[in-house]
Chain A
Amino acid sequence: MPVLSENLLFFILAGLTIFSGLMVILQSNPIFCALALAMTMISIAGIFASLGAWFVAGVQLIVYAGAVMVLFVMVLMLFDLKDEVRAFSRGIVSGFVKIASVGVIGGVVTAAIWMSAETVFPTTPSGLQVSATQSTKQLADLLFKKYIFSFEAMGALLLIIAIGAVALSRIQGGTHADR
């Protein structure tokens, strides 16, 4: 009984993730694309939660769905993005790109189904459940002891990106240029 309900939850969340992920690329209105991407983030958080990774699910909600996507949507709402709607819907090159993308997606989907049979219908029971606080402590131990240098390097990388974005926006011709 619990195996069935867990699988059902996974299929609902995975279906929602794939559907909203498709909506990101199929919708022509950028606002709806961004909101669909936020929906993808929320469903991924749900998948994390169903796997028992509560802390990662919460952080996914706070950081991606809460902060990053909100900024994204806010910027999109302030710009008038009518020309971008038509930019990629005509021409021979984009036609080839579309056909190639269909092929690649078909291959990825087939491979995913082929390789995930063991994951979705496990023949062996999954690992033992630990409490949320306990699993967070394990995560913190890994992040701040074993992988401390790569973790700090990631932080430095994000800082460089932020400084680079500010520098780019302030040079001549940027949105906040000193004239």
Chain B
Amino acid sequence: MGKDVFEVTVNILKMFVIFLMMVQAVPILVWLERRGSAFIQNRLGPNRIGPLGLLQLLADAVKFLFKQSFVPEKSVAPLYYFAPVMALIPGALAFNSIPLSIPINIQPFEMAGQTWGPYTFAFQGYDLGIGIVFILGISSLAVYGLMMAGWGSSNKYSLMGAVRATAQAISYELALSLSLVGILMVYGTFSFREIVDIQTGPLTFKAFGGEHIVSWLPNWGIFFQPLGALIFFAATFAEANRLPFDLPEAEGELVAGFHTEYAGFNLLLFYIGEYGHMMVASALLATFYFGGYSFPGLNPADVLTYMQSVTGGANSASILTAVVFHLVLLAKVAIFLWIFIHVRWTLPRFRYDHLMSLGWKTMLPWALANACFTAIWMWLGHR
């Protein structure tokens, strides 16, 4: 956690700030989803309250907070109340372990009659060094929230939704994990920071007994693992229960699936969980396949020198540099989030047997083939 009070305090605060960042992005995404879907379907969407309908978010938040919460009489109380929290925890934990920018260096300074520092703060909740495995493990726990909600509400529709969610999550988790095996082999590390570091610079690959450099392309994972990226992206839709994989809450068949019996703030927690999953998936996609917080041609040392010449202070320059690279990552995440939203309003829902056969008979074999092919390629390259 840190070696003195200041570092420990900052590290703990950082986790809360990143969690709040995730939660605060949800209303914006909801607004984007409503307006975006309206434009796709040639409607207007919520546009009455505030500029561009942005204050609709506040009205929604007030509604969610003050709406009366109806609890089904025969519900299993502990599971019913814990389920929304359980849906939120995995997304929050996973988002905290993704590096959002380069670390901030703080020079020694005087405070309260004592010299503090120097410090290096990572721009992420915690750096576990085992990032990929941790995120896979944590996101596999997300399905408990849906199951508790489905069974705890004592409702047939909820239970059917929960059973579908469970079967779907387990099926697509295999393809998701296997598509990341290729990434693990190419980079040879579990740490997100090292993965991003490897992806800086021009595209460099070993083939036909020599090293080739393509100077006009960045060294991003998408060029090494295109199939893995595709499978990973498709499987994250299933993990986040988004269309075209939103069978657990298919309105036409199951009312609202596992959250049929939820209203008000409890329902909002499920929404935050779903959008949190989307954000984690987008950030992971950017980190694994699109260079994370790095930007082609933008060197951290150059940016730091420029910021120092602008501000004059070492600490503020370091913070501003981190903010610049954070914005780069945010831009990438925003693009993927928009793709998530666009796909939802473009593709129809799968039928359940089609969903299962796509997961087990198409994506799993292709992910396995991708892993085998990568292994053979690596072996040929390192011989």
Instruction: Please report the C-alpha to C-alpha distance between residue A131 and residue B143 in the assembled complex, in whole angstroms.
Output: 30
Instruction: Please report the C-alpha to C-alpha distance between residue A88 and residue B144 in the assembled complex, in whole angstroms.
Output: 28
Instruction: Please report the C-alpha to C-alpha distance between residue A59 and residue B133 in the assembled complex, in whole angstroms.
Output: 7
Look across to chain A and name the residue whose beta carbon is closest to the beta carbon of B3: A1
Look across to chain A and name the residue whose beta carbon is closest to the beta carbon of B150: A77
Interface pick from B105-113, B158-166, B259-267: B158-166
> Is there an interface contact between A74 and B166, defined as CB atoms closer than 8 Å?
yes
Interface size on B, residues (CB 8 A): 31
Asked if B173 is at the interface (CB within 8 A of a chain A CB), the reply is yes
> Is there an interface contact between B147 and A77, defined as CB atoms closer than 8 Å?
yes
Interface residues on A, range: 20 to 34
Asked if B230 is at the interface (CB within 8 A of a chain A CB), the reply is no
Among B167, B188, B190, point to the contact of A74 (Cβ < 8 A): B167
> Is there an interface contact between B166 and A58, defined as CB atoms closer than 8 Å?
no
Chain A residues near B162: list those with CB within 8 A. 74, 77
Interface pick from A14-22, A60-68, A101-109, A161-169: A60-68
> Is there an interface contact between A78 and B163, defined as CB atoms closer than 8 Å?
yes
0 or 1 for each of B185-205: is its CB under 8 Å from A? (1 = yes): 000111100000000000000
Instruction: Please report the C-alpha to C-alpha distance between residue A45 and residue B138 in the assembled complex, in whole angstroms.
Output: 11
Among A57, A58, A70, point to the contact of B147 (Cβ < 8 A): A70
Interface positions, chain A 53-99, Cβ under 8 Å from B, are 54-55, 57-62, 65-67, 70-71, 73-74, 77-78
Q: A70-B170, A74-B166 are contacts. A65–B147 as well, Cβ < 8 Å?
A: no
Instruction: Please report the C-alpha to C-alpha distance between residue A50 and residue B137 in the assembled complex, in whole angstroms.
Output: 16
Chain A residues near B130: list those with CB within 8 A. 54-55, 57-58, 132-133, 136
Interface positions, chain B 37-95, Cβ under 8 Å from A, are 76, 79
Q: Is the interface of B mostly helix, strand, loop or mixed?
A: helix
Among B79, B144, B177, point to the contact of A62 (Cβ < 8 A): B177
Chain A residues near B191: list those with CB within 8 A. 132-133
0 or 1 for each of A131-162: is its CB under 8 Å from B? (1 = yes): 11100100000000000000000000000000
Q: How far is the CB of A113 from chain B (nearest CB, A)?
A: 30
Which of A59, A66, A73: most chain B Cβ within 10 A? A66
Chain A residues near B138: list those with CB within 8 A. 61
> Is there an interface contact between B133 and A67, defined as CB atoms closer than 8 Å?
no
0 or 1 for each of B144-162: is its CB under 8 Å from A? (1 = yes): 1001101100000001001
Look across to chain B and name the residue whose beta carbon is closest to the beta carbon of A71: B170
0 or 1 for each of B276-300: is its CB under 8 Å from A? (1 = yes): 0000000000000000000000000
> Is there an interface contact between B133 and A55, defined as CB atoms closer than 8 Å?
yes
Q: A62-B177, A77-B162 are contacts. A38–B144 as well, Cβ < 8 Å?
A: yes
Chain A residues near B188: list those with CB within 8 A. 133
> Is there an interface contact between B163 and A74, defined as CB atoms closer than 8 Å?
yes
Asked if B134 is at the interface (CB within 8 A of a chain A CB), the reply is yes
Chain B residues near A58: list those with CB within 8 A. 130, 133-134, 136-137
Asked if A47 is at the interface (CB within 8 A of a chain B CB), the reply is no
> Is there an interface contact between A77 and B151, defined as CB atoms closer than 8 Å?
yes
Instruction: Please report the C-alpha to C-alpha distance between residue A54 and residue B133 in the assembled complex, in whole angstroms.
Output: 8
> Is there an interface contact between B141 and A61, defined as CB atoms closer than 8 Å?
yes
Instruction: Please report the C-alpha to C-alpha distance between residue A60 and residue B133 in the assembled complex, in whole angstroms.
Output: 10
Q: A62-B136, A132-B128 are contacts. A67–B151 as well, Cβ < 8 Å?
A: no
> Is there an interface contact between A65 and B141, defined as CB atoms closer than 8 Å?
yes
Q: How far is the CB of A74 from chain B (nearest CB, A)?
A: 5
Asked if B140 is at the interface (CB within 8 A of a chain A CB), the reply is yes
Asked if B226 is at the interface (CB within 8 A of a chain A CB), the reply is no
Look across to chain A and name the residue whose beta carbon is closest to the beta carbon of B129: A132
Asked if B169 is at the interface (CB within 8 A of a chain A CB), the reply is yes
Instruction: Please report the C-alpha to C-alpha distance between residue A54 and residue B138 in the assembled complex, in whole angstroms.
Output: 13
Instruction: Please report the C-alpha to C-alpha distance between residue A75 and residue B133 in the assembled complex, in whole angstroms.
Output: 27
25 sample A-B contacts, Cβ–Cβ < 8 Å, listed by A number: A31-B76, A35-B79, A57-B130, A58-B137, A59-B137, A60-B137, A61-B136, A61-B141, A62-B133, A62-B136, A62-B140, A62-B173, A66-B140, A66-B143, A67-B140, A67-B173, A70-B143, A70-B144, A70-B170, A73-B147, A77-B147, A77-B150, A132-B129, A132-B191, A133-B130
Residues of B within 8 A of A (CB): 76, 79, 128-130, 133-134, 136-138, 140-141, 143-144, 147-148, 150-151, 159, 162-163, 166-167, 169-170, 173, 177, 188-191
6 additional contacts (CB under 8 A) given A62-B136, A133-B188: A31-B151, A35-B144, A66-B140, A66-B141, A70-B143, A133-B190
